[in-house]
């Protein structure tokens, strides 16, 4: 389950992975890539109770969209990898 909340220049997203382990794996995959323009976009991620939460703030909506889109792409790839090669668990 995924929950998203948008404002003009900030966004919050929470994804329930069903386990702390899966949420931590996805967190680790996402933490590798830092923001390309850290002066324009800030991203804060946390893991708690099997959920990955991410908060984005940007100076402009276009930077927010680009950062959020890249985040979702990597999150989707990491999730599919867990489903394919994990312990037979579907997310």
pLDDT in tens, 4-62: 566 667 888 899 998 999 999 999 989 988 888 889 999 999 999 999 999 999 998 88
Q: What is the model's pTM? A: 0.79
Task: Specify if 32 maps to a domain.
Answer: yes
Cα–Cα distance, 86 to 88 (Å, whole number)? 6
Task: Specify if 50 maps to a domain.
Answer: yes
Q: Is the pLDDT of residue 2 over 80?
A: no
Q: Per-residue pLDDT averaged across 67-84, rounded?
A: 89
Tokens 């680790």, located at residue: 28
The pLDDT value recorded for residue 45 is: 95
Task: Specify if 91 maps to a domain.
Answer: no
Long-range contacts of 67-71 (CB under 8 A, 24+ apart): 67/35, 67/41, 67/43, 68/11, 68/13, 70/33, 71/13, 71/30, 71/43
Here the CATH number for the domain that contains residue 47 is 3.30.310.50
Residues of the domain holding 16: 2-85
Task: Specify if 17 maps to a domain.
Answer: yes
H helices of the chain, where?
A: 20-31, 61-85
Q: Which distant-in-sequence residues (6+ apart) come within 8 Å of 11 by Cβ?
A: 4, 5, 55, 56, 64, 68
The pLDDT value recorded for residue 38 is: 85
Q: Total structural domains in the chain?
A: 1
The pLDDT value recorded for residue 3 is: 55
Q: Is the pLDDT of residue 80 over 80?
A: yes
């Amino acid at each position: 389950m995924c929950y998203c909340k948008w404002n003009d220049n900030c966004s919050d997203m929470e994804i329930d992975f069903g386990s702390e382990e899966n949420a931590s794996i996805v967190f680790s995959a996402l933490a590798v890539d830092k923001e390309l323009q850290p002066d324009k976009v800030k991203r804060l991620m946390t893991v708690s109770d099997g959920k990955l939460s991410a908060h984005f703030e940007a100076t402009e909506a276009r930077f927010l969209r680009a950062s959020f889109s890249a985040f979702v792409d990597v999150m989707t790839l990491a999730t599919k990898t867990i489903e394919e090669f994990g312990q037979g668990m579907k997310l």
